[in-house]
Structure 1
Amino acid sequence: MQREAERKASAEAAREAHRRKTEEDEALKERIAQADRAAAWARERDADARSRAQSQNPANAQTRESSLSSTQTPKIGEVKRATKMLEAAPLYGSDALEPPPPPYIGPRPAGLPENVPLEALTSLDASGVKPDGTYDLHNLPGMPRRKFFRKEYEWAQACLPMIRAIPPDERPLSLKVLFALLRSMPGMK
């Protein structure tokens, strides 16, 4: 009899433990589902905000997308879009005889287009001033060098997103001048 009572008690305890385990599993599944719904809602909200911002200001949409894609970490199984890096334009005449400029050393600047290599940037140690005391807008420190590009339009397209990445009130005078110059070029907005 006592054995029978022990068996019943252990069976009842096992059923109770199984019921508690099932309840815990259900609660865990519900919390995971809530977290998934919250993450999906956040992704949808961010996508809506991005599309709203792009429709309001399409000129900066491409710049924002390139900066977002460069800062986002890749996900498992995600294939990175291939970009062909620009190559330096050939130098002729006296330009070919000049020694190469010192390399840019530092992190990739905000706003730098994905297809522009770091070797296109002017060294941060460069003065940015011509011998006559005027700004050397083609060789400002940390900005793309004009001689690296084949066309002035390509150079302008590389410079504008980098300048736009800096808030207008924080831009030095040299960048304000360069920004005004680039915006005045045909086809640049």
Structure 2
Amino acid sequence: MLINGAGGGAGSFAIQLAKAAGLHVTAVDSAAKLDVMRGLGADEVIDYRVQDFTRTGPYDLVVDLVASRSVFAYRRALAPRGRYFMVGGTTRTILRLLTLGTLVGLLTRTRLGILVVRQGPAHFVPLADRIVAGDVTVRVDSIHPLEAVPEALARHGEGRALGKVVIAVADEPQS
């Protein structure tokens, strides 16, 4: 399995869950995040600025948290009958994947699609239980006060976060 954008908050969960499922994980992100991804269990790491992950592999499963390449590049990264799932991306990239990706998938016997995450507490309880049990670690990059939301969003949006960016809505009670 390859996880693109694996050094952020969602990627850190994806690495740990994939390893717990017994998968060989290749994690892709910037050079500053390679050690963190190894520490979370990634078997191999790729600095996307140095190496194009779509020219490595092939992979049975690609989960893409960044989605910035062409449908044909994603297809190139897949093994026969491989699956590619986009988690986030621009509207343009999503539309290309839904149209051209569907056609390419049919012609090449692969699957290129969007990973839809179900919302609501019931869908997150299994992950929360694993966190409480200590099986999955929550990596917190930084904690920002409510008035610093723009700076926190910029840090997250620029891809600099090494885990979750947290907004503290209220001060913690004094004991």
Tell me the TM-score range normalised by the shorter chain: under 0.3
- Which structure would you say has the larger RCO, counting Cα contacts within 8 Å and 6 or more residues apart? 2
Compute the TM-score of the two structures, normalised by the length of structure 1: 0.22
Q: Which structure has greater helix proportion?
A: 1
